[in-house]
Amino acid sequence: MKMRKLGKSGLEVSAIGLGCMGMSFGYGPAKDKKEMIDLMRKAVESGVTFFDTAEIYGPFINEELVGEALAPYSGKVVIATKFGFKMSAQGGLDSRPQHIREVAEASLKRLRVDVIDLFYQHRVDPDVPIEDVAGAVKELIKEGKVRHFGLSEAGAQTIRKAHAVQPVTALQSEYSLWTREVEAEIIPLIEELGIGFVSYSPLGRGFLTGKIDENTKFDNNDFRNIVPRFTPEARKANQALIDLLSAIASKKKATTAQIALAWILAQKPWIVPIPGTTKLSRLEENIGAANMELTQEDVREINGAAAKITIQGNRYPEKLEKMTGR
């Protein structure tokens, strides 16, 4: 497995990480615990060193699952987790410094580690100055409880303010061939500041695998049921992007998912996608993308063809969309 450094921080991780959320949360019922532990351990054996979770996934059960699965590999893997949500029934955001500390202490126990490798603010809390958030994580870093500070779905001004208090190692936001908003302002900014980028949903929540069409039915508990981009009409309209990926994949003797991941890897050397999966065959397929080389000409061809396709539907329902880009 090729390795990548997240910006100027020195944090080195595998070129393809593993998003663990879907094992417990978001895409239907939680999957079989033993199977998911086996999957994560197979990922480590295949060279994956970067695993992503959060306290809200479940809540809590995903961190516990990741902690149990990766306990034998202490010091050999990088585990990222997140803070910033209220765990009460009414939900909402909570990035008060005291709460950040409480989350860190609880996550350390669930993850079975002595230090959190990468601690992200899950969503920017408009009620707490970002300087206070960065300061709280800075204290945890001084105490040896956290190694690196990250932000998720933050806007440019927030990133600058946070970075001035405690250097931000990585920004995690959605980025793929069908979600490219970060290219305009965010990617140039974090390149300037030396911050790495972690791309979640790099396969468009499964759509860019080419295995989902307008007739696909999702489980009742599947988050995609409320996502505008996943209405049958939007899926039908967005099929044009799959047709493009399929054509390139056949030329490259690869899969559409591998082309989608290779395209992200070809953007910048400090970008790391974290596709999630619960299937061994998909894990192997995703890992295979790390060895695919897209030339500059390939990337130009993909970008040129993709520019002619207008993606239909927002990536989040309105309430969740408002939590991004602050």
Among all residues, which ones are annotated catalytic? 57
- Going 171 to 177 to 182 to 183, the CA torsion angle's sign is positive
Q: H-type helices in the chain, by residue range?
A: 33-45, 61-70, 97-111, 130-142, 156-165, 186-193, 232-252, 256-265, 280-288, 296-306, 318-321
**Residues 191, 69: Cα–Cα separation, whole Å:** 34
**Residues 54, 164: Cα–Cα separation, whole Å:** 25
From residue 309, alpha-carbon distances to 170, 185, 280, 296, 306 in Å are 30, 21, 32, 20, 5
Task: Return the closest-CA partner of residue 127 out of 81, 94, 154, 97.
Answer: 94
**Residue 177: alpha-carbon gap to chain centroid:** 14
- Interior CA angle at 260 toward 152 and 160, to 5°? 25
How would DSSP label each residue in 189-239? Answer: HHHHHTBEEEEESTTGGGGGGT---TT----TTBGGGG-GGGSHHHHHHHH
**Residues 233, 239: Cα–Cα separation, whole Å:** 10
Biggest CA–CA distance in the chain, Å, is 54
**Residues 142, 248: Cα–Cα separation, whole Å:** 48
Angle between helices 280-288 and 256-265 (to 10 degrees): 50
Query: Residues 203, 274: contact at Cβ < 8 Å?
Result: no
How would DSSP label each residue in 137-153? Answer: HHHHHHTTSEEEEEEES
